[in-house]
């Protein structure tokens, strides 16, 4: 048992990430899997997660969002595979890209032009299929390739991204998969050796027959459901716990926390947990969420504060004492369900886990 009682702990089960990867690989058949470890591997710690994926699972491609994230991983991971930067390229960054095997995903004519002007080299291109976020149009792409503004030999990966993959039944998915096919057919003759990638976690769990050769899961590897519905044969990876700082008794009629948003209807035992919204425990969970403590689910009472959250442990079958650990999310409190309570998604709960939360890694 940990002696640390003052701050929350995020336990990351690296072995479970590996089993989720194996599960996804079984579903994906021969298609290559390139994990997305942006945003510090969704808050789990990109260095440890990337190291595990590369060393123990032979992962050969990784995606991040920014070049700074890529450099951070490359510096700590001498055998890092090619790191693709989803946000692309800005003029004069070539020194940073060139020092390691970091490759941009070029998203616009401006990015492609700057990349070639600064010397070019292996890169990916992104094409938009309906998200209207990043990505080139097909005419624009053909122009860049045919006019030599973008070297055909430089482009070894073509990335597209579904806008409605969290809603598998949405009609947009079919249209966007068709768009992927059209683009793949148009670009294949120009880029005979390029890999084509459409699916993130959501796309991987949705039946479709796009001819992709690389998939880019993030959330599913960390045990989260892209559609917010728990299951999909994925294992829990991340467990967030918070220690009990103290317990107190309140009498009927007393209120708890700022502005008295909860009032005791009976004499109650309250546990004060060392976790708050500064640790990523959303304030929207005030009077709403539950933790697992004392052998049962205990409701949050009153407002979640910056550093502390109070829960009602009156009905807990096991007595709760200072130093006990409440599960915030993990095997008992499903992260997708908690996210739903907070009016958000597991992605946001994971990436909001704060700086002062201790990270611990399990390898079995």
Ligand X SMILES: *Cc1c(COP(=O)(O)O)cnc(C)c1O
Q: Which residues, other chains included, contact 267 with Cβ-Cβ below 8 Å and sequence gap of 6+? A: 249, 250, 251, 252, 314
201 binds ligand X (CB under 6 A): yes
38 is catalytic: yes
Cα 249 to its chain centre, rounded Å, is 39
Q: What is the rounded distance in angstroms from the CA atom of residue 19 to the CA atom of residue 10? A: 19
43 binds ligand X (CB under 6 A): no
136 binds ligand X (CB under 6 A): no
Q: Which of 49, 219, 238, 357 binds ligand X (CB under 6 A)?
A: 219
Q: What is the rounded distance in angstroms from the CA atom of residue 156 to the CA atom of residue 268? A: 63
Piece of the chain touching ligand X by CB under 6 A; list 6-14, 210-218, 297-305, 353-361? 210-218
339 binds ligand X (CB under 6 A): no
Q: How far is the CB of 347 from ligand X (least distance, A)?
A: 6
Piece of the chain touching ligand X by CB under 6 A; list 113-121, 212-220, 227-235, 245-253? 212-220
210 binds ligand X (CB under 6 A): no
Q: Which is nearer to ligand X, 33 or 250 (CB)?
A: 33
177 binds ligand X (CB under 6 A): no
Q: Which of residues 261-290 bind ligand X (CB under 6 A)?
A: none
Piece of the chain touching ligand X by CB under 6 A; list 96-104, 218-226, 242-250, 287-295? 218-226
202 binds ligand X (CB under 6 A): yes
Q: Which of 17, 36, 238, 308 binds ligand X (CB under 6 A)?
A: 36
Cα–Cα distances (Å) from 182 to 91, 129, 186, in that order, read 31, 10, 6
**Which one of the listed residues 117, 174, 211, 258 is annotated catalytic?**
258
Task: Annotate 263-299 with DSSP letters as a single string.
Answer: E-SS-EEEEEES--GGGT--GGGTTT-EEEETTEEEE
Q: What is the rounded distance in angstroms from the CA atom of residue 300 to the CA atom of residue 303? A: 8
Q: Which of residues 298-337 bind ligand X (CB under 6 A)?
A: none
Q: Is 213 left (phi over 0), alpha (psi -120 to 50) or beta?
A: alpha
Upper half-sphere CA count for residue 257 (Cβ side, 13 Å):
24
70 binds ligand X (CB under 6 A): no
200 binds ligand X (CB under 6 A): yes
Binding mask of the shown chain, residues 155 to 174, with x at each position contacting ligand X by CB under 6 A: ------x-------------
Please, what is the Cα angle at 260 between 256 and 264, to 5 degrees?
50
Piece of the chain touching ligand X by CB under 6 A; list 10-18, 167-175, 195-203, 351-359? 195-203
User: Do 136 and 115 form a contact (C-beta atoms < 8 A)?
Assistant: no
List Cβ<8 Å contacts ≥24 apart for 314-319: 314/266, 314/267, 314/268, 314/269, 316/269, 318/294, 319/294
174 is catalytic: no
User: Do 67 and 111 form a contact (C-beta atoms < 8 A)?
Assistant: no
Q: Which is nearer to ligand X, 214 or 303 (CB)?
A: 214
Active-site residues, by number, are: 38, 258
* Residues in touch with ligand X (CB under 6 A): 36, 38, 86, 161, 200-202, 216-220, 226
């Amino acid at each position: 048992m940990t002696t640390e009682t003052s701050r929350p702990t995020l336990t990351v089960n690296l072995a479970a990430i590996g089993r989720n990867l194996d599960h996804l690989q079984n579903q994906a058949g021969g298609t290559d899997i390139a994990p997305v470890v942006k945003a510090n591997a969704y808050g789990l710690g990109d260095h440890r997660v990337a190291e595990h994926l590369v060393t123990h699972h032979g992962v050969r491609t990784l995606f991040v969002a920014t070049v700074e994230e890529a450099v951070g991983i490359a510096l700590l991971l001498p055998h890092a595979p090619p790191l693709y930067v989803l946000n692309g390229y800005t003029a004069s960054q070539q020194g940073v890209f060139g020092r390691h095997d970091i490759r941009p995903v070029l998203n616009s004519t401006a990015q492609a032009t700057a990349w070639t002007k600064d010397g070019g080299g292996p890169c990916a291109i992104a094409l938009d299929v309906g998200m209207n976020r990043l990505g080139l149009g097909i005419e624009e792409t053909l122009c860049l390739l045919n006019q030599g503004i973008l070297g055909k030999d430089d482009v070894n990966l073509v990335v597209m991204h579904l806008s409605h993959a969290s809603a598998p039944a949405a009609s947009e998915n079919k249209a966007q998969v068709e768009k992927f096919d059209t683009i793949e057919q148009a670009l294949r003759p120009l880029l005979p050796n390029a890999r084509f990638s459409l699916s993130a976690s959501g796309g991987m769990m949705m039946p479709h027959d796009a001819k992709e050769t690389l998939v880019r899961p993030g959330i599913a590897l960390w045990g989260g459901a892209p559609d917010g519905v728990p299951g999909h044969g994925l294992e829990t990876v991340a467990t967030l716990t918070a220690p009990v700082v103290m317990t107190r008794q309140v009498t009927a009629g007393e209120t708890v926390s700022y502005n008295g948003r909860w009032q005791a209807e009976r004499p109650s035992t309250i546990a004060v947990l060392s976790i708050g919204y500064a640790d990523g425990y959303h304030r929207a969970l005030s009077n709403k969420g539950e933790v697992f403590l004392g052998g049962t689910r205990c409701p949050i009472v009153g407002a979640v504060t910056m550093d502390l959250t109070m829960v009602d442990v009156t009905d807990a079958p096991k007595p709760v004492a200072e130093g006990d650990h409440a599960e915030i999310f993990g095997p008992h409190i499903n992260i997708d369900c908690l996210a739903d309570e907070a009016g958000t998604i597991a992605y946001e709960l994971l990436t909001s886990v704060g700086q002062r939360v201790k990270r611990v890694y399990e390898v079995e």
